[in-house]
Amino acid sequence: MKKGTKITHKSYPFNADGDHDINIPKTPPLSEEERNAAFDDPEQLFFQIANGKLYGVNKLIFKGRRFTILEPNPVTFYFSLAMDAQPQIEHAHLQLENSLNNLKSSWPIEVSYSYIFRVSALFVITAFTACEAFLNQHLPDFKEIQLSDGKFYTKKDIVYAKFDKKLDAVNRYTGKNFSKAYPHKMKRLIYLKNLRNELIHLKEKQGLAASYNVIYQNVLDLDARSLINTVKSFINYYEPKLIINYNYNS
């Protein structure tokens, strides 16, 4: 039994708090020719309205063929990449164990470890990207937020800031605080953030021939199952049911 991630979509409320003030006039159904003209016009936007929310529709072209899709939330895709990598990490650990036991069918130890590193790096980077992208989505477009330093910031000021500053902004805007609600889970999320930074920046240990020993050991010690559950809890704490998993047989 494998676990997949449902595609969910980013939506906008009907001006619930002064944000996303969108007024859409009623339009008659379009002919195919009119639809194609609207498709090719970059100023024409496609929407779907459902359940009191507004959903964007992507206009895409593949090998000359026009098609539309209800805009997926990229956070779903980043999370799915991490989720799919988690069982691969378990398989990679088994391969290394076989290598260390010198089984006939085993790979060389270096090959087994490289497999662990590749799938673990994919997991860490995409899992944390899901969290950071999620926070960016929840910064208000047209409001200033007073952060813990007492200063006021706009989304433009915060979107490229560090994770902690984004989280502070979302906490103050939503009135929620994951750190206070789940301090142990927050520690795991900070661990994920730090390991992601180590993998991205690869700062060498000066004066040592083996520069990345600590990083390689941290990759081996990675508890992917616990971390992916933490990421899901973090995202769904602020937006319930954004991440939905299901079981399937391959």
The closest of 82, 89, 126 to 220, measured between CA atoms, is 89
Instruction: Mention every residue, 6+ apart, whose C-beta is less than 8 A from residue 14.
Output: 22, 52, 53, 54
Q: What is the pLDDT of residues 228-245, one digit of tens each?
A: 999 999 999 999 999 999
Task: Look at strands 65-70 and 11-13 and give their pairing.
Answer: unpaired
User: With contact defined as beta carbons under 8 Å apart, do 158 and 165 qualify?
Assistant: yes
Same domain as 190, residue 98: yes
Same domain, 215 and 113: yes
Specify whether 25 is located in the same domain as 131: no
* One domain, residues 115 and 226: yes
Mean predicted confidence (pLDDT) in 58-69: 92
Domain boundary residue among 55, 70, 85?
70
Number of domains in the chain: 2
- The two three-digit tokens of residue 84, written as one number: 């799919």
Among the candidates 14, 36, 70, a domain finishes at 70
Whether residue 205 has pLDDT greater than 60: yes
pLDDT of res. 26: 66
- Are both 172 and 49 inside the same structural domain? no
Examine the domain organization and report whether 116 and 161 are in the same domain.
yes
53 & 92 share domain: no
pLDDT at residue 98 tops 80:
yes
Range of the domain at 49: 2-70
What Rg value do the Cα atoms of the chain yield, rounded?
22
- Looking at 48, 70, 92, the residue that finishes a domain is 70
- Please, are residues 79 and 231 in contact by the beta-carbon 8 Å criterion? yes
- Band (pLDDT 50/70/90 cuts) for residue 14 is low
Tell whether 34 and 102 lie within a shared domain. no
State the average pLDDT for the chain: 89
Do both 117 and 134 map to the same domain?
A: yes
**38 or 99: which carries more pLDDT confidence?**
99
User: Is there a single domain that holds both residue 82 and residue 63?
Assistant: no
Do 78 and 31 lie in one domain? The reply is no
pLDDT band at 106 (very low <50, low <70, confident <90, very high): confident
Residues 200 and 91 in one domain: yes
